[in-house]
């Protein structure tokens, strides 16, 4: 089950289809990884809320684009929670010259992969994770977010 909560109306003002885009990206990752029946909760919120979460749980008191919070093993098969900051995501999309819808789906895919245990702490891990992101995004009709010439990119 994929639950989406839209806390910041800016998401809907910019992307009326934000909930559907979010669900579609999360489901695409779950399907690609064979995580049938797994649950995820996604929160589309503002920079202040993500800054608070980042400070409390990661000791980094600043906003970021996406945060993933894996759940401990549970009988409900809930993988965890993901929070996305509208301001940071919108600014990054503009700076990188890509549609906000594409960036949102990329960051949702990235966050769900974190919940499934993927990381990007080393170059090898990053290459593997980015490869999975590329495959999922291609299936959604989204161009490779890491291509040269598509704007300045940092790993999410």
Q: What does the pLDDT look like over 93-103, one tens digit per residue?
A: 999 999 999 99
Domain boundaries, the chain: 2-139
Q: Where are the beta strands (DSSP E) in 24-108?
A: 39-45, 66-70, 78-85
Percentage, residues of the chain above pLDDT 90: 88
Collapsing DSSP to helix, strand or coil, 10 comes out as: helix
pLDDT for 148 equals 54
Contact 75, 99 (CB under 8 A): no
State how far the Cα of 38 lies from the Cα of 72, in Å rounded to an integer.
13
In CATH terms, the superfamily for domain 2-139 is Metalloproteases ("zincins"), catalytic domain (3.40.390.30)
Report the pLDDT value the prediction gives residue 36, as an integer from 0 to 100. Answer: 84
Q: How far apart are CA 88 and CA 98, in angstroms?
A: 14
pLDDT of residue 153: 43
Q: Which residues of the chain have a pLDDT value below 70?
A: 148-156
What pTM was computed for the model?
A: 0.93
* CA separation for the pair 150, 46 (Å, rounded): 25
| pLDDT the model gives residue 78 | 96
pLDDT at 128: 93
Q: What is the pLDDT of residue 152?
A: 39
């Amino acid at each position: 089950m994929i639950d989406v909560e839209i806390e910041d109306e800016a998401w809907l003002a910019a992307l009326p289809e934000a909930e559907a885009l979010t669900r579609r990206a999360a489901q695409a990752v779950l399907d690609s990884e064979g995580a049938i029946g797994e649950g995820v909760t996604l929160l589309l919120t503002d920079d202040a809320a993500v800054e608070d979460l980042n400070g409390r749980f990661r000791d980094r008191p600043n906003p970021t684009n996406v945060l993933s919070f894996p759940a401990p093993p549970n009988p409900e098969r809930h993988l965890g929670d993901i929070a996305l900051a509208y301001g940071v995501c919108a600014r990054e999309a503009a700076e990188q010259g890509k549609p906000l819808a594409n960036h949102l789906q990329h960051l949702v895919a990235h966050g769900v992969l974190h919940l499934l245990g993927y990381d990007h702490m080393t170059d090898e891990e990053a290459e593997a994770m980015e490869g999975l992101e590329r495959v999922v995004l291609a299936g959604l009709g989204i161009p490779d977010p890491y291509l040269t010439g598509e704007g300045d990119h940092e790993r999410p």
